[in-house]
Amino acid sequence: MSDAAPDTLTRTPVARALLKISAPMSLGILGVLLIGLADAYFLARVGEAELAAIGFVYPVIVAVSAFSIGMSAGANTALSQAIGREAPRPHVARMTFYATGFGAALGCAIAALLALSAPWLFAALGARGAVLDAVLAYIPWWAASFPILVVTMILNAAFRAAGDGATPSAMMVLTAVLNIALTPLFVFGWGPIAAFGMAGAGIATLIARAIAGAVVLALAIRRGRLSAARCEGPSLRASIAEMTSVGLPAALSRAINPAGMALVTAAVATVGDQAVAGFGAAARVQSVTLVPFFALSAGLAPIVGQAWGAELPDRAREAVRIGTWFAVAYGLIAGLALWVFAMPLAQLMTDSGTAAEFTAQYLGIVGWSLAGYGLVIAANAALTARSRAAWALGLSLTRIGLFYVPLAWLGVSLFGYAGILAAAVIANAMGAWLALSATQVNDLTRARWRFLTAPAAAMQRLSRPRHG
């Protein structure tokens, strides 16, 4: 194997490189989403307490998982820029080794903190009696699997940074297939396997992640993506500093959305239980609709990172341009589809006529603004890959904290459920404006529009980027 980095994306046409990574990643991301839906489906058949427990567990594990996403974003930025600079492959493999070791250590610390704090944390969130017991049966198993998740996501990022979208996608699909297949066995029992109920879902997650983690680790070593061999290159301290400077803001950026959604759901709860059920069903449909946006971001990150590392800013701008137009085009098509099929989808996802009405209203109205949210997702990926993770954090924080949450509470107090929908549309529209502004100011687009400079100046004061 040559020491030269043979994995550069800087010589492949941008559109082809983007398709090469994003297309397979869409399958992997969809597989991960199906795990949550399958858990809810199986646990609903165990009992009401278990289904309610999932409602308490889900936002917490999404927020905790933001750390693994942030670390993978940091690894992608550092590794893709190193590959773009044509750093020798042993150097890149050594950087990956540092990232996985550091990620595993922090993952263990976070897992221990979650497991130890679970009783009072979920009690503070309102879980009581049988529901709290179900939560506490699940959390230790999920926490034990968390360090494996962190390592797996960092290694997946290493493959993507080198232009390989198929391997991480296959690992995500493998995890999903194993998890969905094992969950009913451990939840309900089968043959010699006892019925573990809520704990069974956690056990299935641990086993699935352990198997997939072992496979991706073996592949990374075999293909030269991971190596502990000493070589000249960046030190442990320098590598970790580079990754955490991107990873920590990226983790906070990913945690903002579920936290904001929890606050918006609380606003929806003032309308009634049926509104909450309908809003939750709409959110699940929306999560599937957003898969192409997240797949796009998975492709943009290594392309922009490598281009910036290779000092090819025009190539990075071309990737952002293609991503922007894709987000707009797909977002409008998705909005049309959600508007046309709003009621059939609502009836499929709910068991109540009233809840279905709330779901259909959300899909038919908010769906038209998803292009704006897609622009935010694409901009965040490009900014993070350009070592501007603080800008991505500011963009997410502004969309959620300045627009969505305050307007949702104001809107519901004035107009009821319609106010929630208006808040979502405004937040997505303003997010799109801010996303275009941020990419312009950070030299990720050739366009220069005056109407984009004002919001960029405001975000610049929030972000204060220090690294180029």
* Band (251; pLDDT cuts 50, 70, 90): confident
Q: Round to whole Å and give the CA distance between 326 and 317.
A: 14
| Confidence (pLDDT) at 352 | 64
* Residue that wins the pLDDT comparison between 168 and 354: 168
The angle at the Cα of 31, spanning 26 to 32, to the nearest 5 degrees, equals: 100
Question: pLDDT tens-digit profile of 418-461?
Answer: 999 999 999 999 999 999 999 998 889 876 666 555 555 555 55
Q: How far, in Å, CA of 123 to CA of 127, rounded?
A: 5
Q: Which tens digits make up the pLDDT trace of 115-148?
A: 999 999 888 877 888 889 999 999 999 999 999 9
Residue 296 has pLDDT above 70, yes or no: yes
Domain boundaries in the chain?
1-234, 251-463
Measured between alpha carbons, how far is 70 from 389 in angstroms, rounded to an integer? 10
Name the residue among 224, 288, 301, 330 with its Cα closest to residue 34.
288
Average pLDDT over the chain reads: 87
Whole-model pTM? 0.83
Rounded to whole angstroms, how far apart are CA atoms 421 and 101?
44
pLDDT in tens, 358-414: 999 999 999 999 999 999 999 999 999 998 988 999 999 999 999 999 999 999 999
- Three-state DSSP at 141 gives helix
190 backbone dihedrals φ, ψ, rounded to 5°: -165, 120
| Least trusted range by pLDDT, from 28-37, 229-238, 316-325 | 229-238
